[in-house]
Amino acid sequence: MSETQTTETHEFQAEVRQLLDLMIHSLYSNREIFLRELISNAADAADRLRFEALQDEQLFEDDPEPRVRIAVDAEARTLTVSDNGIGMNRTDVIDNLGTIAHSGTRRFLDSLTGDEKHDAQLIGQFGVGFYSAFIVADQVRVLTRRAGDAASEGVQWESDGKGAFRLESSPRESRGTTIVLHLAEGQDEFLDTTRLRSIIRRYSDHIAIPIQLEDDQGGAETINQASALWMRPKGELSDEDYQAFYRQLTFDTEAPLRWIHNKVEGDQSYASLLYIPAQRPFDLFEPESGHGLRLYVRRVFIMEDKEHRLLPRYLRFVRGVVDSEDLPLNVSREILQQNRQVDRIRAASVKRVLDTLERMAADDVDSYARFWEAFGTVLKEGPVEDPANAERVAGLLRFHSTADENAPSVTLADYVERMKPGQKAIYYLTGESLAAVRSSPHLEVFRKRDIEVLLLAEPVDEWLMAHLPAYGETPLKAVPKGDLELDEIGDDDSPTPAAPEPSEAVGQLIERLQGQLGDRVSEVRASARLTDSPACLVVGEHEFGINMQRMLQAAGHDLPAQRPVLEINPDHSIIERLASDESAPLEEWAVLLFEQSVLMEGGRLEDPAAFVRRMNRLLN
Ligand code: ADP
Ligand code: MG
């Protein structure tokens, strides 16, 4: 077969071109990371070989020791990175080095902002990998053969990164992948072995396989520690060791806030190294984002814990490694789902993370505030997902409140300590935004009587509060629900009266309003909640709040019709006037009071235009 018959030219997928462009521009100042990416791919390839060889020893051929080898040729201006990992066949090459195979990468592209600094950081976190070679190279050649395939199946891929790549057969005796970068003008620093050595130490010291740098005589020197850091005794490891390993693991540009390193020995043995990051990865809220711990069995990488078996979803911000001595190497996802050892590792890991967060909250308020800003929203899923630990998670929550409007810094314990004599519940209000919550009429009576209310405005808050009926002995109570029972709160010398018995005129107004509103409301009554607003809506103790109803409806749920109570403020001038002036158009006023109350709850009107017309008629 002649060469030409097997040579094909393929266009890059449009997204690849977009990515290449972007990478070359936004990562130029940080271009040495290309080496980290190529080494990390080589290490992944070694892991995958080791894993597949569990089923089929033949794959090792006669070369079982994984390694990465780096060589420079100053004359040819090339830098070569080769591995003896799993390698690729022709289809693999087309899929992996011609398209953006990972749906994650596409989402990543969508999340770019155009702000270079921000985008560069995203790329860093994401580790987009192979294509970063084109930041420093004007020509890249990949020679590869998949383990187990015949030598004649070897493939060569070649591109200048401009728009297309060339593919041809290239027989290859040894399995694995060799990547030859022809360095672009001005990139001579990557021919300098001293420079290369320092880059490798900086980024890849804890890659678990040896990284060897070839010298002029054809010998090679191992540059990295090449050991599993998590197996080393704590006493031998410095902060810098832990941080360097974290960088390798996550590509995070910020140092982690905390790490937790444990070696457990006994009837079950494992090591775990868990990190609490300082900043949010961009895809924390994507269901498929695949953040999770890395599971190893006796130093062999098995899988990324994307199904959150080793730690629950609400702790998915934790990064790190679990390495078991006891699980079978061929452990599958199915086995993991129902393995008692895994249950125990999980319970212990949850405990360690919660312990660490509690300690950080107590000893280092600033770090905890950073943690909360980055991951508080995720932690709020805790009481829903993990009722057994709901009380501990509740202690870690931070809230905005009427007593501290600036930062979400109020704990439930702070609140309980500040409760008024006779106060029996922790009061809270949820809504669509903090601004809306802060100006809600439901807070009027609380402000007047100086009773603190927790303010919540994230979507997850509704679910959180629905699963948090009490903190210790103290029930939590939504202020727009049921009877507030504020009567007993306060000092003995200044008792505050219950809702005033409405005057006869107000009593009649209530009946007339009820007649006008029909089955839009379950009841109209005089309010003990309001000081400045004429009216508000209240739901029953065990009904969904209006904000929750809105969210459920937005999520496509069919809700049973629920009728709120309209409470009116007998002391408000509008109510006073309506009570005394029988000629006022009550059919208009009733609906207006009702609809403005719906709006203040963040609810939606079925016919906003009718609302505006009605208001304008009354203004006239
Ligand atoms: P990622 O490593 O995040 O998957 P990359 O762009 O770094 O993304 O690599 C894309 C894919 O190319 C890898 O998933 C892998 O399948 C393949 N690949 C890259 N380098 C190698 C290599 N040295 N050996 C085997 N496969 C590789
Ligand atoms: Mg990669």
Residues of each domain in the chain carrying CATH 1.20.120.790 = 504-540+547-619
Percentage of residues in the chain with pLDDT exceeding 70? 93
Please determine, for residue 99, whether its predicted confidence score (pLDDT) is greater than 90: no
Confidence of residue 3 (pLDDT cuts 50, 70, 90): very low
Would you place residue 288 in the very low, low, confident or very high pLDDT band (cuts 50, 70, 90)?
low
Interval between CA 327 and ligand 2 midpoint (Å): 27
Residue nearest ligand 1's atom 17 by CA: 96
Report, as an integer, the average pLDDT of 279-297: 79
Mean pLDDT of 592-605: 90
* CATH 3.40.50.11260 domain extents, the chain: 398-495
pLDDT reported for residue 495: 46
Closest residue to atom 11 of ligand 1, CA basis: 96
**For position 407, what pLDDT does the model report?**
84
Amino acid 106: pLDDT: 66
Q: H/E element holding 157?
A: strand 155-159
Contact 26, 137 (CB under 8 A): no
DSSP string of 392-438, one letter each residue? HHHHH--BEETTB-SSS-B-HHHHHHHPPTT--SEEEEE-SSHHHHH
Topology of domain 229-365 in CATH is Ribosomal Protein S5; domain 2 (3.30.230)
Q: CA of 59: how far to CAs of 55, 65, 86, 91, in Å?
A: 9, 12, 8, 19
The DSSP-derived string for 7-43 is -EEEEPPHHHHHHHHHHHHHTGGGTTHHHHHHHHHHH
Question: For residue 295, what is the enclosing H or E element?
Answer: strand 294-297
Which atom of ligand 1 is found nearest the CA of 179? 23
For the chain, give the longest Cα–Cα distance.
106
The three-state secondary structure class of 70 is: strand
| pLDDT exceeds 90 at position 490 | no
Dist. CA 34 → ligand 2 center (Å): 10
Helix, strand, coil shares, percent, the chain, to 5: 45, 20, 40
Mean pLDDT of the chain: 89
C-beta of 127 in contact with ligand 1 (< 6 A): yes
Average pLDDT over residues 568-586: 92
Q: 41: Cβ below 6 Å to ligand 1?
A: yes
Residue with tokens 């963040």: 602
d(CA 170, CA 155): 5
Residue 103: which pLDDT band, with cuts at 50, 70 and 90? Answer: low
- Region 230-254: mean pLDDT is 92
What is residue 290's predicted lDDT score, i.e. its pLDDT? 64
Does the pLDDT at position 284 exceed 90?
no
Query: Could you tell me how many residues make up the chain?
Result: 620
Pairing relationship of beta strands 426-430 and 454-456 according to DSSP bridges = parallel
Could you report the per-residue pLDDT of 45-89, keeping only the tens digit for each? 999 999 899 889 999 998 999 999 999 999 999 999 999 999 999
CA distances from 394 to 133, 358, 381, 462, 539 (A): 47, 11, 11, 14, 25
Q: Which pLDDT band holds residue 160 (cuts at 50, 70, 90)?
A: very high
Q: Who's near 149: CB < 8 A, 6+ residues apart?
A: 87, 89, 175
Q: Is 96 in the pocket of ligand 1 (CB under 6 A)?
A: yes
Handedness of CA 510, 515, 517, 522 (dihedral sign): positive
Q: Which ligand has the shortest distance to the CA of 19?
A: 1
Q: Give the pLDDT mean for 234-256.
A: 92
Chain centre distance of CA 25: 27
Tokens at residue 564, please?
Answer: 């709120």
One-character DSSP codes across 319-342: EEEEEESSS-TT--HHHHHT-HHH
Look at the domain 398-495 and name its fold: Rossmann fold (3.40.50)
Positive or negative, the Cα torsion across 456, 457, 462, 467? Answer: negative
Q: Which CATH architecture has domain 3-222?
A: 2-Layer Sandwich (3.30)
CA dist 134 and 16 (Å) reads 12
86: Cβ below 6 Å to ligand 1? yes
- Mean pLDDT in residue range 180-195: 96
Give, using CA atoms, the residue closest to atom 27 of ligand 1.
41
Report the half-sphere exposure of 43 (CA within 13 A, side-chain side): 26
Q: CATH 3.30.230.80 spans which residues of the chain?
A: 229-365
Q: How confident is residue 108, by pLDDT bands cut at 50, 70 and 90?
A: low
Give CA–CA dist 551/556, Å, rounded.
9
Q: Is 238 exposed, middle or buried (0-12, 13-18, 19+ CB in 10 A)?
A: exposed
Q: What percent of the chain has pLDDT over 90?
A: 65
| Residue nearest atom 23 in ligand 1 by C-alpha distance | 42
Give DSSP secondary structure letters for 516-559.
HHGGG-SEEEE-SS-SS-SEEEEB-TTSPPHHHHHHHHHTT--P
pLDDT confidence band for 1 (50 / 70 / 90): very low
Q: What is the mean pLDDT of residues 174-194?
A: 97
CA distance 539 to 535: 14
CATH 3.30.565.10 in the chain, residue ranges: 3-222
* Residue of higher predicted confidence among 17 and 236: 236
Q: Which residue's C-alpha comes closest to atom 25 of ligand 1?
A: 87
The whole-number pLDDT of residue 127 equals: 56
Q: Phi then psi for 379, rounded to 5 degrees?
A: -60, -30
pLDDT confidence of 586, banded at 50, 70, 90?
very high
Q: Which residue would you say has higher pLDDT here, 500 or 339?
A: 339
| pLDDT value at residue 357 | 98
Return the ligand number nearest the Cα of 105. Answer: 1
CATH fold for domain 504-540+547-619: Four Helix Bundle (Hemerythrin (Met), subunit A) (1.20.120)
Summarised one tens digit per residue, pLDDT across range 6-17 is 789 999 888 788
Q: For 322-358, give one letter per residue: b (16+ CB within 10 A) or e.
A: bbbeebeeebeeeebeebebbeebbeebbebbbebbe
Q: Is the pLDDT of residue 399 over 50?
A: yes
In a mutational test of the pocket of ligand 1, which residue from 13, 130, 146 has the highest number of ligand atoms less than 8 Å from its CB? 130
How would residue 525 be classed by pLDDT, with cut points 50, 70 and 90? Answer: very high
Pairing relation of β-strands 535-538 and 294-297? unpaired
Q: Does the CB atom of residue 177 touch ligand 1 within 6 A?
A: yes
Q: What is the pLDDT of residues 353-370, one digit of tens each?
A: 999 999 999 999 999 999
Q: What is the mean pLDDT of residues 144-156?
A: 97
Could you tell me the two tokens for 411? 């704990």
C-alpha pair distances (Å), 111 with each of 33, 283, 503: 21, 9, 60
CB atoms under 10 Å from CB of 550, counted, come to 20
Question: Which residue has tokens 């600094």?
Answer: 117
Confidence tier at 201 by pLDDT (50, 70, 90) = confident
Sign of CA dihedral 93, 99, 103, 109: positive
User: Do 554 and 618 meet the contact criterion of CB atoms below 8 Å apart?
Assistant: no
